Structure 1
Amino acid sequence: MRSALAACLLVTMNGFAAEPALRFSIADSWAMPMVQIERGQPTQGILHDMMASLATQVGSPARFHVLARARVQAAMDHKEIDIRCYAAQSWLPNQSSDYIWSIPLFVQRDLLVSREPHAAQVIPQNLPPQPVGTVLGYAYPSLQPLFDSHQLTRDDARNQDQVLQKLWAGRYRYAVSNQWTLDWFNQTLPPNQQLHSVAILQEQAVGCVIRNDPALPVQRVLRTLLRMKMLGEIDDIIGLYTGHRPTESAPQHYEAP
């Protein structure tokens, strides 16, 4: 009798066992407000907070793997991580059915940024030959023809914050930045020293991609991300770090699983 009761208790305890961790990738080239990395682990930021909240709502602990951006896809392919966020299908055009995409969660807006305000939008094709601040390993499709012709040359830094620091210090006249990082950077400066967006180079809807593995709560993750977006939680997190909630909406071509 006692052994039967112990067996029953063991089954019950196993039923309440903690879910396995959800393993998220963190690109080491990200900077605030996307993520703050300290001693090899993320501690705060838009993507950190969103991933941590997602894992909590799914009922799994979050585990973060900080990787070089070029290694993220290989880590996914080798099942070292489960979820990659802040990615676009156009960036990963050859994904197989081993992966499932979330709804679009953010809009990444790439900007041409200058220390000086401009009365009109800058047309990159009309710029004289000069270096432009860029992030190492990042692709800039709208500027690539100008890089190929050597009209513009890349001046690479390790992350987006370093790019803007070099622009502010006068290392070059223009740099490329996403809207979030520019807003975050300008919050630390008085109005007369802030950097200025002088052209919109590209807008891209981005979301999360998860490995289609039976061992993972794939549908729960997708439904949770949908709920977080529709209820405004993700936009609230963005507003917390950038000073304002997004005014644009990522396209929502999606059917709930």
Structure 2
Amino acid sequence: MTQTGFRRRVGRLCGAVALLASFVCAAAPPPLVLLIDTSAQMPQARVEGDRVVEGLHLDLGRALARRLGRELVAKPVPRKRLAEALQRGEGDLLCDYLSEWVPGSFAWSRPFIPDQALLVSAATAPAPAGLSALAGQPVGTVRGYVYPEMSEALRDGFKRDDAPDAATNLQKLQRGRVSHALTGRRALGYQQRMGAVRLALHPPLVVSEVLAQCALSPTAPIDVNALNTAIQGLVADGELNRLLARYQ
């Protein structure tokens, strides 16, 4: 083969490789970017530096992304910036929230992630007959979280004692810094199973039933109909229940 012929063959081969690479890149949809609160604690998430290591939010995001035919990128963001980051398109998806918790012009999925908001009280304190019995008493809460039922029942008598996250909130109860705390059933059950909360408690008072949702950024590469279809599959074939069971 002449040198000119060899160059032509190499040129054609390089052109074919470039065309194939271009086709592959064009065919691959962009990843789905899931925002996760940097202060989240297990079972919701465990964040180490700029990495989300494990947790329900990561598992849920991966399951939804797989059903949407996309890779998942989990991006930790401080709680105070979650709404802003989603609005600005720094991420596409935020899950396990309610619309009243995250202000902004987002498309919200159907409600599908079950939990209960609980009031838990140390057995060393009198068991409250209802929310109104806690007027003026400090109640363990998480900074940045809203508790509409407590605010409505107690108004100015709702005395928050904020912790940076749910695990620390329960640790305050364990150490006797507060006698009452607000938490989710999922978080309480996980912390008890891990041995982090060994304090004797009164039967918890259910403050509200929660069916949390996912929010989509205005710039997300999917629409809410596609997201709801993925959620429907997740619920219908039992995968959601299997994910939740990992952290009970």
Instruction: Tell me the TM-score normalized by structure 2.
Output: 0.82
Superimposed CA distance per residue, residues 141-171 of structure 1 (whole angstroms, 9 cap, x where no aligned partner): 111146642x341110000000001101111
The percent identity for this pair of structures is 26
Q: Which of the two has higher C-alpha Rg?
A: 2
SS of the residue corresponding to residue 143 of structure 1 reads helix
Superimposed CA distance per residue, residues 88-128 of structure 1 (whole angstroms, 9 cap, x where no aligned partner): 23435663xxx432222212311001122999773020235
Q: State which drifts further: 111-120 or 160-169.
A: 111-120
Q: 1:93, 1:74 → 2: CA distance?
A: 9
Structure showing the higher helix proportion among its residues: 2
> Which of 114, 133, 138 is the matching residue for 1:131?
138
Q: Give the CA RMSD over aligned residues.
A: 2.9
> Which of 227, 231, 235 is the matching residue for 1:229?
235
* Structure 1: segments with no counterpart, 5+ residues: 243-257
Counterpart of 2:62 in structure 1 is 52
Q: 1:187, 1:80 → 2: CA distance?
A: 35
Instruction: Tell me the TM-score normalized by structure 1.
Output: 0.80
- Quick one: which amino acid aligns to residue 29 of structure 2? E
Q: 1:210, 1:192 → 2: CA distance?
A: 38
> Which of 217, 222, 225 is the matching residue for 1:217?
222
Number of aligned residue pairs: give it.
Answer: 237
Query: Cα offset for 1:224?
Result: 2.1
After the TM superposition, which residues 11-30 of structure 1 pair with which residues of structure 2 at under 5 Å, given as runs? Answer: 11-17=19-25, 18-30=28-40
After the TM superposition, which residues 11-90 of structure 1 pair with which residues of structure 2 at under 5 Å, given as runs? Answer: 11-17=19-25, 18-90=28-100
> Which of 114, 117, 121 is the matching residue for 1:110?
117
Asked if residue 240 in structure 1 is aligned to residue 238 in structure 2, the reply is: no
Closer, same or farther in 2 for the Cα pair 1:190/1:222, shift >3 Å?
closer
Query: Cα offset for 1:196?
Result: 4.6
* Structure 2: segments with no counterpart, 5+ residues: 1-7
Closer, same or farther in 2 for the Cα pair 1:60/1:117, shift >3 Å?
farther
SS of the residue corresponding to residue 204 of structure 2 reads strand
- Quick one: which amino acid aligns to residue 79 of structure 1? G
